[in-house]
């Protein structure tokens, strides 16, 4: 920024320093830092599944050639306990995929997100996930929750569209279960294909009937190839029913330390081993079959079963409730932007996705 | 603003420049820009309908005489794909019609607006429309919605008057429908004639019983010559029942890209043609019979079937949910102010409305 003509140089310099300090400590800056941790760069290789994962398209170069990054996604490579782990330049990735603020665009083109969650007990979590999607830049953010939760979530913000559709066991008679479940799926299915990404889990609770209904919704979303971020009680659901995400490259799991531990115990039948953390995460993704896992922690470590990347840019050091929900809503938006970016840069189908990526210079960020 | 004693003159001048820049990029300024897009200047011609449209009274000069504008409503004329389209100086129009903040005035004189919308699913849209009416400058803003929506909308703001009057199919037995419908109309009708303008559609939903009740309310409003802005699901309603607005010069439709497409397909039985956009819009207004249509887009293009005007002053380039609702509430206020302005400048009935307009120097803004 150039110094304005006629301004007192000392006052001006002081102002700039002051502004720099203000920005570095501002809430907006801290929020940016947190949000920038939500992207997954991972390295190129032909897709081993029917659908290449969205996140997997934003890959880092192989371990042996970190110098080949044209636009700086890899700032430094680390040897994380037993395996190569790359530090992602999340900011560069986000800058690349963020849709332009173009006056000719119309409502919905910057992303339509839905959160499946919110029950009698929890209303804050789905709110944080859904409102984060809007604050990151999505155009529309919906919540599908129980009737009890809906009034409260609606009242948090008029910006959300809240559907009081889900039911818990206490409000459904045993003989009504099948018909209510079918009605819920019909209602949600009407909307589902409009969304660019859904988030399953924030404030979902663990009611058996509700989880059964959500399982059906997840199956429907999978058939429709809708990217699905799974967080919170959604991870409880899929840990007990891995078939819901097995082999789904459009599934992104965002476990915290406890959720990750349960997932490792269930899938790998062992405890988390920090000595071989990167290999264990890679193996976990492979065993579940092509999903992307973002293991939250001091640094967020991310893998799609092929490579491991981390984002260690720090956000707030507090670890209060709601931060994971904010992350899941943000990941949903970045996922939808990434998918749109790939599709809009896609060559005709006869070309392989790998050559397309190279030609459109999204090989490395 | 005087320079504060003891301040460094250079720093002070820079501060002022900086404030100017801050204002130019501030949220308040951007909001103003968005709001200023909501007026319709259109050119003079004798009213072909029983009632001249309110918006149609704020006319632009004919294509051949743009230089005759005394106070700058026409900043530049454009040839928009096959037809003459004028750029409206919306700010000048708004300045002209805005009622004075005079201490002798009393509650209600700056506008009483009602929004008909808000159901189990949607509460944000009617809130944004109603609160915008107040923020633009109306004195009173009401919402008529379902019981489910009312508590939530009330909780968004104590400034709104929210009537939990409407009903959806799920809450009405088949044998009660006729009596409930009649009761709803009676309740709304009690209030209707107090309003200067109503907005039908934000968050209305598509429940068949609710839409039937709202059709009756629209018919009643028309009989009472109350200007009616139709937006959102209100446009879904009138697209399927054009009789509700046909030949009503007090109807203003504010379709977005999808709603406009459906309207064109229904009325003109063809697709939107950008090559002949202005003619198509004019023809659409004529076919529906004298309504005013504001087609929202990169520039808002407005016609009452006689001429086409556009407002291309840009607002926020984001296209998130709720912006259309803000526009519809704002248009309602400007419409009511325009109508009051015309009526307060009106000569006795023996003079034609055209000569009245010319004498009271509102021919061109």
d(CA B229, CA B201): 8
- Phi and psi at B50, nearest 5°, equal -60, -40
Q: What is the DSSP letter of B348?
A: P
Q: At what angle do helices A277-288 and A257-268 cross, to 10 degrees?
A: 60
- How is the beta sheet containing A228-230 ordered, strand by strand? A74-80, A83-88, A308-311, A300-303, A292-295, A251-253, A228-230, A197-200, A112-116, A140-146, A161-166
d(CA A27, CA A34): 11
pLDDT reported for residue A345: 81
**CB proximity list for B129: less than 8 A, separation 6 or greater:** B115, B117, B199, B202, B231, B325, B326, B328, B329, B332
B319 within 8 A of A108, measured Cβ to Cβ:
yes
> Which 3 state secondary structure label does DSSP give B191?
helix
Annotated binding-site residue? B50:
no
| Interchain proximity A154–B318, CB inside 8 Å | no
Cα end-to-end span (Å), chain A: 26
> Considering only CA atoms, which of B320, B158, B324 is closest in space to residue B234?
B324
Residue of B nearest to A134 (CA): B320
- Phi and psi at A275, nearest 5°, equal -65, -30
B111 within 8 A of B133, measured Cβ to Cβ:
yes
Maximum CA pair distance of chain B?
A: 80
pLDDT reported for residue A34: 54
| B224 CA to centre of own chain | 18
Report chain B residues whose CB lies below 8 A from the CB of A107: 256, 319-321, 323-324
Q: Which residues is B140 bridged to in the sheet? A: B112
> Which 3 state secondary structure label does DSSP give A50?
coil
Q: Which of A4, A141, A148, A154 to mutate against chain B (most B CBs within 10 Å)?
A: A154
Please give the model's pTM, rounded to 2 decimal places.
0.78
Residue of A nearest to B313 (CA): A103
Report chain B residues whose CB lies below 8 A from the CB of A160: 124
pLDDT beneath 50, residues of chain A: 1-7, 38-52, 54-77, 79, 348-365
pLDDT reported for residue B344: 87
B188 within 8 A of B200, measured Cβ to Cβ:
no
A214 within 8 A of A237, measured Cβ to Cβ:
yes
Helices (H) and strands (E) counted in chain A, each on its own, are 12, 11
A153 within 8 A of A118, measured Cβ to Cβ:
yes
State the smallest CA–CA distance between residue A17 and chain B in angstroms: 15
CB-defined contacts A:B, below 8 A: 88
State the smallest CA–CA distance between residue B170 and chain A in angstroms: 13
- Give pLDDT tens digits along chain B (365 positions): 344 444 455 555 555 555 545 455 566 555 555 555 544 444 444 333 333 444 444 434 333 333 333 333 444 445 455 567 888 888 888 999 999 988 999 999 999 999 999 999 999 999 999 999 999 999 999 999 999 999 999 999 999 999 999 999 999 999 999 999 999 999 999 999 999 999 999 999 999 999 999 999 999 999 999 999 999 999 999 999 999 999 999 999 999 999 999 999 999 999 999 999 999 999 999 999 989 999 998 889 999 999 999 998 878 888 999 999 999 999 999 999 999 999 888 654 433 333 333 333 332 22
| Interchain proximity A151–B152, CB inside 8 Å | yes
> How far lies A43's CA from each of A62, A74, A206, A245, A344, in Å?
6, 11, 36, 22, 20
State the smallest CA–CA distance between residue A259 and chain B in angstroms: 33
pLDDT reported for residue A89: 85
Q: Within 10 A of B270 (CB to CB), how many other CB atoms are there? A: 9
Look at chain A and count its residues: 365
B53 within 8 A of B317, measured Cβ to Cβ:
no
What are the tokens at B186? 């009676």
The residues on B that touch A, with CB distances below 8 Å, are 8-11, 13-14, 17, 120-125, 127-128, 148, 151-152, 155-156, 256-257, 297-298, 314, 317-324
| Interchain proximity A101–B13, CB inside 8 Å | no
| Interchain proximity A103–B152, CB inside 8 Å | no
Annotated binding-site residue? A170:
no
Q: What is the DSSP letter of A305?
A: S
| Interchain proximity B121–A151, CB inside 8 Å | no
Annotated binding-site residue? A273:
no
d(CA B200, CA A96): 41
> Considering only CA atoms, which of B247, B248, B231 is closest in space to residue B239?
B231
> Considering only CA atoms, which of A261, A276, A224, A255 is closest in space to residue A51?
A224
| B272 CA to centre of own chain | 23
- Phi and psi at A66, nearest 5°, equal -65, -20
d(CA B317, CA A101): 5
> How far lies A248's CA from each of A50, A212, A228, A332, in Å?
9, 19, 9, 16
> How far lies B222's CA from each of A126, A215, B218, B247, in Å?
42, 49, 6, 10
Comparing CB atoms, the residue among B8, B152, B321 nearest residue A107 is: B321
**CB proximity list for A113: less than 8 A, separation 6 or greater:** A130, A133, A138, A140, A141, A142, A195, A196, A197, A198, A199, A329, A332, A333, A336
| Interchain proximity A158–B257, CB inside 8 Å | no
B260 within 8 A of B285, measured Cβ to Cβ:
no
Report chain A residues whose CB lies below 8 A from the CB of B151: 151
Q: Which of B121, B295, B300, B327 to mutate against chain A (most A CBs within 10 Å)?
A: B121
d(CA A33, CA B322): 28
Q: At what angle do helices A147-156 and B147-156 cross, to 10 degrees?
A: 30
Annotated binding-site residue? A89:
no
Report chain A residues whose CB lies below 8 A from the CB of B156: 155, 158
State the smallest CA–CA distance between residue B171 and chain A in angstroms: 15
State the smallest CA–CA distance between residue B315 and chain A in angstroms: 9
Instruction: Tell me which residue has tokens 């609606």.
Output: A154
**CB proximity list for A196: less than 8 A, separation 6 or greater:** A111, A112, A113, A138, A226, A227, A335, A336, A339, A340
The residues on A that touch B, with CB distances below 8 Å, are 4, 6-8, 11-12, 15, 101-110, 134, 137-141, 151, 154-155, 157-164
d(CA B268, CA B25): 41
**CB proximity list for B106: less than 8 A, separation 6 or greater:** none
Q: What is the DSSP letter of B86?
A: E
State the smallest CA–CA distance between residue B14 and chain A in angstroms: 6
- Phi and psi at B251, nearest 5°, equal -100, 130
> How far lies B364's CA from each of A83, B83, B290, in Å?
74, 20, 21
d(CA B130, CA B149): 14
Question: What's the alpha-carbon Rg for chain A, to the nearest Å?
Answer: 21
Instruction: Tell me which residue has tokens 């992307």.
Output: A292
Q: Which of A14, A105, A107, A127 to mutate against chain B (most B CBs within 10 Å)?
A: A107
d(CA B319, CA B129): 16
**CB proximity list for B28: less than 8 A, separation 6 or greater:** none
Region of B195 (left: φ > 0; alpha: ψ -120 to 50; beta: rest) is beta
The complex's ipTM works out to 0.76
d(CA B324, CA B230): 11
State the smallest CA–CA distance between residue A118 and chain B in angstroms: 15
């Amino acid at each position: 920024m150039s110094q304005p003509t006629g301004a007192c140089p000392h006052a001006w310099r002081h102002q700039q320093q002051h502004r720099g300090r203000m920005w570095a400590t501002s809430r907006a800056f801290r929020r940016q830092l947190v949000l920038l941790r939500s992207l997954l760069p991972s390295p190129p290789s032909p897709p081993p599944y029917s659908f290449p994962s969205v996140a997997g398209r934003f890959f880092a170069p192989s371990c042996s050639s970190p110098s080949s990054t044209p636009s700086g996604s890899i700032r430094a490579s680390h040897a994380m306990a037993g395996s190569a782990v790359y530090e992602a330049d999340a900011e560069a990735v986000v800058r690349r995929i963020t849709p332009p603020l173009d006056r000719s665009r119309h409502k919905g083109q910057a992303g339509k997100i839905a959160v499946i969650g919110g029950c009698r007990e929890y209303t804050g979590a789905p709110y944080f996930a859904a409102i984060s999607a809007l604050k990151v830049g999505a155009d529309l953010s919906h919540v599908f929750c129980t009737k009890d939760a809906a009034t409260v979530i609606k009242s948090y913000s008029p910006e959300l569209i809240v559907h009081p559709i889900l039911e818990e066991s206490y409000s459904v008679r045993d003989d009504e279960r099948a018909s209510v479940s079918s009605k819920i799926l019909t209602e949600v299915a009407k909307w589902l294909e409009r969304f660019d990404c859904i988030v399953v889990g924030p404030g979902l609770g663990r009611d058996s009937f509700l989880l059964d209904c959500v399982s059906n919704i997840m199956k429907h979303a999978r058939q429709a190839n809708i990217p699905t971020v799974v967080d919170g009680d959604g991870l409880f659901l899929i840990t007990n029913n891995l078939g819901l995400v097995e082999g789904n490259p459009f599934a992104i799991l965002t476990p915290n330390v406890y959720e990750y531990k349960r997932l490792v115990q269930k899938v790998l039948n062992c405890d988390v081993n920090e000595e071989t953390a990167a290999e264990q995460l890679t193996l976990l993704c492979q065993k579940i079959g092509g999903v992307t896992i973002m293991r939250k922690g001091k640094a967020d470590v991310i893998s799609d079963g092929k490579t491991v990347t981390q984002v260690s840019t720090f956000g707030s050091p507090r670890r209060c409730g709601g931060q994971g929900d904010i992350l899941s809503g943000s990941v949903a938006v970045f996922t939808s932007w990434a998918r749109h970016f790939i599709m809009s840069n896609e060559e005709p189908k006869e070309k392989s996705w790998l050559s397309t990526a190279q030609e459109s210079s999204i090989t490395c960020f």
